[in-house]
Amino acid sequence: MNPFLFKDPSLESYFRSVILFGKNSASYKFALAKSLLDVASDQSRSFVPLEELAVPFAFHICDHLKLNDKQTTAKSSTFLKACQDYNDGSITEDQLISITTKYGFVNVLDAFHNVNQNALPVSFFDSSHPGSTKGIYLTDDLYRLLDSTQSFSIEQEIEARWRLVETAWSLQLPLQLITIDHDPVNNDFFIHQTDQHKRIAITSSRPALNGYQKGKCFYCYCDISVITGSNQLADVDHFIPHRLSRYLPFNLDGVWNLVLSCQACNRGQGGKSAQLPHHSYLQRLHSRNEYLINSLHPLRETIINLTGATDQKRISFLTNIYQMSSDLTGPATWFTEPKGPAVF
Ligand SMILES: [Zn+2]
């Protein structure tokens, strides 16, 4: 079992595993995940006909085609062609919905609950259709997920993951040359294409990281948020303090070193701030990074490029850099009591 689920087999983790750990040969799972959240916002229903589901589903894809014309690794798709035609104004909305109903859901409904060949033990919808009208039945598990404090963040996490994947697809580069960088001023991720001296902004870094920490503070496991304006808005924290950059031959703005922290853990009196955290957190950082490795491109390649190709090399990398850091700062004592169960 994926350790991500083993540690915390909750509805939120199952839903996140679909988004974060899928094989992703097309963006249909992202569009379906967003559409499920859309149609379930009307709490009173359970059956959704396919032609109704087709509306948000097609429009999510149309919106992303405007950002990025690469939405699959396959050569062609009748459904994607229809979305492109709609964006170009050459077919009507009715035609788009009709084609989506017919072709858009081929495979994705059956595949949604499969993550790397394993069927999830929960279902957020049921697509078997005993009646004559094709559609899906929304399950109680989906509504329970929506009731959880995590559901608002999950919508942004889908969007962030989608942006990362489609950007990786669209770059005509070998995957090992793709590295995500972090802009600490805007808190977003970008790809720097050295050959073209181009910087491509991808997504805000908070929702891109949040799912791997299950919406919890890296240090104390309390709930955090990625929604701008929330009083629980997470801080993006450098595990190895950024101030050591000038002494260490490593990119401390790399994804491997960025964690989300609650404001209490990061700021003010008793906060970690620019300190090196206690050694006992190093294993947690490694586990979190392994979740990123298990997520297909481009985060996987980024972590491998920066920290090593094997589990053992990555552990050595972290141990080594931690040792160099504590040689500079003196023994690290910052530690905080957990406020919740160790879910990652
Ligand atoms: Zn905290």
Give 31-43 pLDDT, tens digit per residue.
999 999 999 987 7
Domain of 322, in residue numbers: 163-329
Q: How does residue 150 score in pLDDT terms, banded at 50, 70 and 90?
A: confident
Q: How far apart are CA 293 and CA 304, in angstroms?
A: 7
What is the arithmetic mean of pLDDT over 54-79? 95
How many Cβ atoms from other residues are within 10 Å of residue 160's Cβ? 23
- Alpha carbon of 154 to ligand 1 centroid (Å): 19
- Alpha carbon of 175 to ligand 1 centroid (Å): 34
Asked if 319 and 174 sit in the same domain, the reply is: yes
Phi first, then psi: give them for residue 293, nearest 5 degrees: -65, -35
Specify the 3-state DSSP secondary structure of 44: coil
Concatenated DSSP letters for 75-136?
S--HHHHHHHHHHHTSS-HHHHHHHIIIIITTTHHHHTTEETTEE-SS-SEE----SSS-EE
- Alpha carbon of 214 to ligand 1 centroid (Å): 13
Asked if 98 and 174 sit in the same domain, the reply is: no
Asked if 87 and 223 sit in the same domain, the reply is: no
- Alpha carbon of 257 to ligand 1 centroid (Å): 17
Asked if 98 and 198 sit in the same domain, the reply is: no
Look at residue 132 and tell me whether its pLDDT is greater than 70. no
- Alpha carbon of 218 to ligand 1 centroid (Å): 7
CA 226 to chain centre: 12
* pLDDT value, residue 195: 65
Asked if 124 and 202 sit in the same domain, the reply is: no
Q: How far apart are CA 100 and CA 49, in angstroms?
A: 12
Instruction: Note whether 60 and 39 are within 8 A (CB).
Output: no
Domain count, the chain: 2
Instruction: Note whether 23 and 73 are within 8 A (CB).
Output: no
* pLDDT value, residue 141: 95
Look at residue 196 and tell me whether its pLDDT is greater than 70. no
Q: How does residue 23 score in pLDDT terms, banded at 50, 70 and 90?
A: confident
Q: Which residues, 6 or more positions from 147, have their beta carbon under 8 angstroms from its beta carbon?
A: none
Instruction: Note whether 300 and 293 are within 8 A (CB).
Output: yes
Of the three residues 91, 118, 147, the one that is the final residue of a domain is 147
Look at residue 58 and tell me whether its pLDDT is greater than 80. yes
Q: Which residue has the higher pLDDT, 310 or 152?
A: 310
* pLDDT value, residue 325: 97
- Alpha carbon of 46 to ligand 1 centroid (Å): 38
In a domain, 270, yes or no: yes
Q: How does residue 29 score in pLDDT terms, banded at 50, 70 and 90?
A: very high
What is the arithmetic mean of pLDDT over 154-166? 95
Asked if 120 and 199 sit in the same domain, the reply is: no
* pLDDT value, residue 48: 94
- Alpha carbon of 267 to ligand 1 centroid (Å): 10
- Alpha carbon of 278 to ligand 1 centroid (Å): 14
Asked if 95 and 205 sit in the same domain, the reply is: no
Of the three residues 147, 182, 204, the one that is the final residue of a domain is 147
**Percent of the chain surpassing pLDDT 70:** 96
In a domain, 211, yes or no: yes
In a domain, 35, yes or no: yes
In a domain, 341, yes or no: no
Q: How does residue 7 score in pLDDT terms, banded at 50, 70 and 90?
A: confident
Asked if 135 and 244 sit in the same domain, the reply is: no
Of the three residues 83, 113, 147, the one that is the final residue of a domain is 147
How many Cβ atoms from other residues are within 10 Å of residue 88's Cβ? 9
* pLDDT value, residue 42: 78
In a domain, 337, yes or no: no
Q: How does residue 307 score in pLDDT terms, banded at 50, 70 and 90?
A: very high
* pLDDT value, residue 131: 63
Tokens of 29: 């799972």
Asked if 93 and 180 sit in the same domain, the reply is: no
* pLDDT value, residue 22: 83
- Alpha carbon of 280 to ligand 1 centroid (Å): 15
What is the arithmetic mean of pLDDT over 145-152? 89
Q: How far apart are CA 183 and CA 249, in angstroms?
A: 19
Give the residue among 27, 308, 17, 18 at the shortest CA–CA distance from 167.
27
Q: How far apart are CA 51 and CA 77, in angstroms?
A: 19
* pLDDT value, residue 130: 64
Asked if 295 and 219 sit in the same domain, the reply is: yes
In a domain, 152, yes or no: no
**Percent of the chain surpassing pLDDT 90:** 72
What is the arithmetic mean of pLDDT over 123-148? 87
Q: Which residues, 6 or more positions from 200, have their beta carbon under 8 angstroms from its beta carbon?
A: 167, 190, 191, 192, 193
| Range of lowest pLDDT (36-45, 105-114, 153-162) | 36-45
Q: How does residue 241 score in pLDDT terms, banded at 50, 70 and 90?
A: very high
Q: How far apart are CA 71 and CA 193, in angstroms?
A: 21
Asked if 228 and 280 sit in the same domain, the reply is: yes
| Range of lowest pLDDT (163-172, 304-313, 333-342) | 163-172
- Alpha carbon of 148 to ligand 1 centroid (Å): 19
Instruction: Note whether 211 and 238 are within 8 A (CB).
Output: no
In a domain, 342, yes or no: no
In a domain, 205, yes or no: yes
Tokens of 78: 């009748």
Asked if 121 and 249 sit in the same domain, the reply is: no
Q: Angle at Cα 12 formed by Cα 10 and Cα 13, nearest 5°?
A: 65
